[in-house]
Amino acid sequence: MWIFLIIAGIYVVRSVDAGTMQSPFEPTLTPTRMANSFALEGDALFEAGQIQEAITAYQQAVKVDPSAADIWGKLARIQVYASASLTTDEQRRAQLQEALNSANKAVELAPEDSTAHAIRAFVLDWNASPIYVGDKAQQYLTEAEQEAVRALTLDSTNTLALAFYAEILTDQQKLDQAMANIEQAVQRDPSLMDVHRVYAYVLESTGQYRQAIEEYDRAIEITPNMTFLMVRAGAIYRHLQDYERSLEYFDKAATLNEQLGIKDPTPNLSIAKTYSQMGEFFSAARNVLKALQYDQTNADTYGQLGVVFFKSRNYEGSILPLKCAVRGCNLEESCEARNGCDENAGEFGVQVEGLDLSPNTVVYYYTYGSVLSALSGPQQNYCPEALDVFTEVRQAFGDDQNIMPIVQAGEAICQGVAEKMGTPAPRVPTPAPVSSPTPTP
């Protein structure tokens, strides 16, 4: 009996060591979360306005179940909406490309699913900009229309597909057809945020601003934590020069972001733009500096700060923020551009990468060149850098009758500075006749 027990003990020990038998003293395995669990968490986070956290939850869901086409579609939709809170072209381009990858995966897994095609149409439409895809913008818009038609062919009752189709038609300037489609979508299902958002967009595009605000308000009622909807409504009030109501919407968005712990500079930048239009540049600068606290490396925000300083006639103070936006700046310069760094408040010197020249950033370029040329003289000559900037702007926007007079005025100043210094005048192209008066940057 003792020999038998010894042999049995040896067998048990060897089995545990080999892994074929589990020790009774080991903790039980933690059950693996299902993809649906992560997806439901993503739904809840999106409703709460925590868009980046929602994206993370959906990414976990498709990691657990890569074949879940519906979750890939939800991920793509939220990734598009996340781009609305980003401030630079590069950030938005990257986010929208990720959304397109997710939408492509959804259609690949479910080629006969109407909603998958509808979401891909939506993603393609938001990508269809020369800033993001260059010369392929029209191709993307055409493909977006084809995807929307495909979605409606698969399911003619798909309200989401009908709404996204209306948004695409609006971007194609087919406004009557867009209005007919979105009104039909509202009748079918007025409970969808996307439907009211698109309806507001169509109304805004046709100049029906008050009705557009009403639709944004309905979308906000459905998803009260979506701050980008508040920003859109506030922007319309600002366009109508109803600055008080505009600031109410922007302030509500900024306050909500603080409550949710979301570091989104968009509401503060919108507040700054409103104050700037009102001529209250001190308040405008304060809000841009607040936005910089969320992301101290954001070159676009430095550019907006530089423009505010320029408009307030703080020309010398505008140089460094504009340099950070156009050329980039080092740790010391980034601190100086923000009027100093308070390390106790989490402010440090950072390396800032300059922005590429584009329709969204050209204002920083020509304003930077203008202030450099205006402050140039025999004692302090900024003209070499100013002329380099003007050359870049001229090459990219030489046909723009609003921008070129600004460039020509700066080049003329630098020619005068060169004559005073007795140096060869810089060679610049002869200005073309311009019928409109020279605008102020």
pLDDT score recorded for residue 23: 56
- Residue 339 confidence class, pLDDT cut points 50, 70, 90: confident
* Separation CA 210–CA 213 (nearest Å): 5
Those residues whose C-beta lies under 8 Å from the C-beta of residue 4, and which sit 6 or more positions away, are none
Q: What is the rounded average pLDDT of the residues 143-150?
A: 97
What is the pLDDT at residue 435?
Answer: 40
pLDDT of residue 49: 84
Tell whether the model's pLDDT for residue 333 goes beyond 70.
Answer: yes
Ordered DSSP codes for 285-349: HHHHHHHHHH-TT-HHHHHHHHHHHHHTT-HHHHHHHHHHHHT-B-HHHHHHHTT---GGGT---
What integer pLDDT is reported at residue 9 of this predicted model? Answer: 75
Contact in structure between 76 and 288 (CB atoms under 8 Å)? no
- Give me the phi and psi of 329, to 5 degrees please: -155, 160
**pLDDT at residue 429, as a whole number:** 56
- Which residues lie across from 329 on neighbouring strands? 352
Closest CA to 310 of 323, 298, 299: 323
> SS3 for 9?
helix
Indicate if the pLDDT at residue 423 is higher than 90: no
At residue 8, does pLDDT exceed 50?
A: yes
- Calculate ∠ Cα 73-76-77, nearest 5°: 90
What are the tens digits of pLDDT across the range 366-409? 999 999 999 998 888 999 999 999 999 999 999 999 999 999 99
Give the lowest-confidence range in 107-116, 224-233, 332-341: 332-341
Tell me: the pLDDT tens digits for 203-259?
999 999 999 999 999 999 999 999 999 999 999 999 999 999 999 999 999 999 998
pLDDT at site 18: 62
pLDDT tens-digit series, residues 270-328: 999 999 999 999 999 999 999 998 889 999 999 999 999 999 999 999 999 999 999 99
Q: What is the pLDDT of residue 360?
A: 92
Q: What is the pLDDT of residue 50?
A: 87
Mean pLDDT of 343-371: 91
145 has pLDDT over 80: yes
Sign of the torsion formed by the C-alpha atoms of 109, 112, 114 and 118: positive
Are 418 and 424 in contact by the 8 Å Cβ rule? The answer is: yes
pLDDT of residue 6: 82
pLDDT (0 to 100) of residue 31 = 52
- Per-residue CA distances from 270 to 8, 63, 298 (Å): 76, 37, 16
* Partners of residue 352 on adjacent β-strands: 329
| pLDDT exceeds 90 at position 24 | no
Indicate the length of the chain as a whole number.
441
pLDDT above 90 for 12: no
Would the pLDDT of 432 be above 50? no
pLDDT at 365 over 90: yes
Q: What is the pLDDT of residue 441?
A: 38
345: which 2 tokens? 């408040």
Position 433 confidence tier, pLDDT thresholds 50, 70, 90? very low
Q: What stretch of H or E contains 45? A: helix 35-47
Which is higher by pLDDT, 169 or 34? 169
Greatest C-alpha distance within the chain: 114
Q: Which residues of 350-387 are buried (b: 16+ CB within 10 A; e: fewer)?
A: bebebbebeebbbbbbbbbbbbbbbbbeeeebbbebbb
Q: What is the pLDDT of residue 60?
A: 93
* Local confidence band at 1 (pLDDT 50, 70, 90 cut-offs): confident
What phi and psi values does residue 352 have, to the nearest 5 degrees? Answer: -115, 130
Look at residue 110 and tell me whether its pLDDT is greater than 70: yes
In this predicted model, which residue has the larger pLDDT, 85 or 184? 184
pLDDT tier, 109 (very low <50, low <70, confident <90, very high otherwise): very high
